[in-house]
Amino acid sequence: MDASQFVIPRCFCGESAQIKTSRTDSIPGRRFLGCKNYGVVGACGFFQWFDPPVGDRAKVIIIGLLKKSSRMEDELKQVKKRRICRWFFLVLSWILIWALFCNLMSKEGCKGN
């Protein structure tokens, strides 16, 4: 079902329900309509499935894809951390080399006098 062909119902709070996606292992990736105020004290608890149920094979595939996506996001974070560390040490090494060079040059200048 396409969201543009569907009239979004109002929840019991009187607000337009929001389309959300299930992230649970038992029903991964299935969209549903939920109260806009979900998680807030006094929310009405409106719930209605938006998508038809998925088969067992689709559940297995979706769970695998969600886990793979999560692993890739974790790996990307690690790569970004390593890149920052490398840049830090590169800049630090150039500063140290420059400082040593300046120190040597100043000592050479003293020997000539």
- Is it the case that residue 5 has pLDDT exceeding 80? no
DSSP string, the chain: --GGGSPPPB-TTSSBPEEEEEESSSSEEEEEEE-TTTTSTT----EEE-SPPPPHHHHHHHHHHHHHHHHHHHHHHHHHHHHHHHHHHHHHHHHHHHHHHHHHHHHHHHHH-
pLDDT at 107: 78
Predicted pLDDT at 68: 94
**84-106, pLDDT tens digit by residue?**
999 999 999 999 999 999 988 88
